[in-house]
Structure 1
Amino acid sequence: MQKAVYNKNELRTYVQEMLSGKVKTLEFYLNFTLEASRDIKKTSKYDSIREEIQSEIYHLDRQMAALKSMQREMQRVLNKGTVAAGVGSLVITNKARFYISVSVGEFFFEGDRFYAISEKSPMAQIMKGKKAGDEFTLNNIHQRIEEVL
């Protein structure tokens, strides 16, 4: 089986573009919801609808703040090669591929499944400082690190 070669710069750009896409989608929903709130008539008959819309706006604002925070965190993620797992590392185990950056979760890049995880996640914490050949167990799942890029 031939080893896949990944370009971390392209991977980083891909994750940044994913975040930007999520921000744009959320901006669309937020603007749509704000517009809808302006269209609701100011009578007591519509109070519950206005409350629901305000609640939705609040939740969308919180999601937007989280996405903007992730975008800022991605600025700290460098593309330099690493020997030991840490922020910016692409860690390939016998079970999965982990990009230690921001908590985006599962995504597909160049036809392969990846997991973008936060440096604060339990998985990143247990892998921190480990090198190719090291092993670890998390949630009763044993993994061996095959490569750290």
Structure 2
Amino acid sequence: MNPGLKQKLYNKCIELIDLRIKNAKDAMDSAQESANNETKSSAGDKYETGREMMQQEMENNAIQLAEARKLKETISRIIPSKSYDSAQMGSLVITNNGSFYISIGLGKITVDGKDYFAIAPTSPLGSLLMDKTAQEGIELNGRKFVIEKVI
């Protein structure tokens, strides 16, 4: 097993979160710029509707930004170099049905040409895996997972 694999998984998660933060900020800036450039037309209702739509878009982007920042704060508590005997926040769990990085819910991420799944410890699969060790098994939605290794 690649000794720097967990560090690479961690870095990939940070990269994806930073991208979400940047996209949310860019979208907010764009919406603000549109709002600033909007001129009041003679059709007042059209103007008010347009401003309301831009306001809603800004609010949605602000929510996405806050969620991304919360994810970044959560993952920042992980120490990638730490090894685990049982599945914990920050561990990599290798099963017969995939490899799961218990961290934050980002879904499939690819590192060194191999797919991993970044899952939150509170997700349905994450909560079943928590505190399990190698050779233990779980079942989710009729699918059996046998833990081969916890790193």
Q: TM-score category by the smaller chain?
A: over 0.9
Q: Structure 2: 5+ residue runs without aligned partners?
A: none
Alpha-carbon separation, structure 1, partners of 2:106 and 2:29: 23
Q: Check conservation: 2:86, 2:132, Cα contact below 8 A.
A: yes
1:126 counterpart residue number: 128
Percent identity for Structure 1 against Structure 2: 28
1:42 counterpart residue number: 40
1:73 counterpart residue number: 74
- Name the aligned partner's letter for residue 11 of structure 1: L
Match status 1:15 vs 2:13: yes
Runs of 4+ in 1 over 4 A off after TM superposition: none
TM-score (norm 1): 0.92
Alpha-carbon separation, structure 1, partners of 2:16 and 2:143: 29
Alpha-carbon separation, structure 1, partners of 2:40 and 2:115: 49
Shift of 1:8: 1.0
Shift of 1:42: 2.7
2:86 counterpart residue number: 84
Shift of 1:28: 1.2
- Once the two structures are overlaid, the 10-residue window that deviates more, 116-125 or 59-68, is 116-125
TM-score (norm 2): 0.91
